[in-house]
Amino acid sequence: MYRFVLTRQWVCLTLLALVLIPVMIKLGFWQYHRHEHRVANNRLIAESLAARPVPVTELTSAGHIVPRSDYWRTVTATGTFDTAHEVVVRMRTNADDRVGFHVITPLLLADGRAVLVNRGWVAGGDDPQDYPPVPAAPTGEVTVTGRLKADETSGSSGIKDRSGLPDRQVMLINSEQQARALGRPVLGGYLELTDPVPPDRKPEPVGAPDHDSIGPHMAYAVQWWLFAAGVPVGWVVLVRREKRERAAAAEPAAPPATEQNEPAPA
């Protein structure tokens, strides 16, 4: 009755269905794991932002790699800005998705070490090869508060560092790179400045990370699993339809109906 499923066409269709089912299930779990990662990351950001501010020297030191558990922690530092070694980071966007620069100014601590401070975003000038107009940093001793971030690398950011850039322009925010330029120890990672807010918000402060949305990954996971469940259902529907069509084609043709109530001959 169902011998047609052994034909080449149906064998290929069945094999395709058997391949699609585990692939779709795996894609569903991939999206589910992305959902779990997003939820965990949102929780980490929320807890870090809500944590009590601590001195930056309690969480990092020269050559230290900031662990993920300390990302976004609120830290404080006291020192004087070294504007002579200030650099700007190319190809950075602001809240309006305008491309410009981030301003990185070393803050010199009393013990001779330094910490990099991302003072915010500025627009570029007429020539992107020129150093952009940057508002002056506060003078004298200042206490700053910011969010702790890890050093940027090509592997973690996807940004390719390159040589031959214009003077005082870089592609990545990296403490080891700036330590060589400064000639003094630089604490690992950097601060995204949150306080004091610069006059007229220039440079434009870097916004807090989004930790409210969870994205569509869970919905995508459910979709893939529904697709996986629909494959065998669709296969059964196609088999039954094929069976009905073959049965209808195998039935003998009915004889033509004889004409009734023929008129009597004249």
Query: Is pLDDT above 90 for 67?
Result: yes
Q: Residue 259's pLDDT is what?
A: 55
Which range in 188-192, 250-254, 258-262 is most confidently predicted, on average pLDDT?
Answer: 188-192
CA distance 74 to 53: 5
For the chain, what are the domain ranges?
A: 3-43+216-247, 53-201
Q: Residue 257's pLDDT is what?
A: 60
What is the residue whose two structure tokens read 């200042």? 142
CA distance 22 to 230: 12
Share of the chain above pLDDT 90, in %: 65
Question: What's the average model confidence in pLDDT over 251-262?
Answer: 62
Q: Residue 211's pLDDT is what?
A: 76
3-state secondary structure the chain: CCHHHHCHHHHHHHHHHHHHHHHHHHHHHHHHHHHHHHHHHHHHHHHHHHCCCEEHHHCCCECCCCCHHHCCCEEEEEEEECHHHCEEEEEEECCCCCEEEEEEEEEEECCCCEEEEEEEEEECCCCCCCCCCCCCCCCCEEEEEEEEECCCCHHHHCCCCCCCCCCCEECCCCHHHHHHHHCCCEEEEEEEEEECCCHHHCCECCCCCCCCCCCCHHHHHHHHHHHHHHHHHHHHHHHHHHHHHHHHHHCCCCCCCCCCCCCCCC
Query: Who wins on pLDDT, 96 or 257?
Result: 96
Query: Is pLDDT above 70 for 178?
Result: yes
> Taking a C-beta distance cutoff of 8 angstroms, is the pair 56, 107 a contact?
no
Provide the token pair at 147: 């969010």
Q: Residue 214's pLDDT is what?
A: 84
CA distance 147 to 173: 14
Cα-based angle 108, 111, 112 (whole degrees, multiple of 5): 50
Query: Is pLDDT above 80 for 3?
Result: no
Q: Residue 265's pLDDT is what?
A: 63
Residue 140, Ramachandran bin (φ over 0: left; ψ between -120 and 50: alpha; else beta): left
Provide the token pair at 68: 């993920």
> Taking a C-beta distance cutoff of 8 angstroms, is the pair 134, 52 a contact?
no
Q: Residue 10's pLDDT is what?
A: 85
Question: What's the average model confidence in pLDDT over 67-91?
Answer: 95
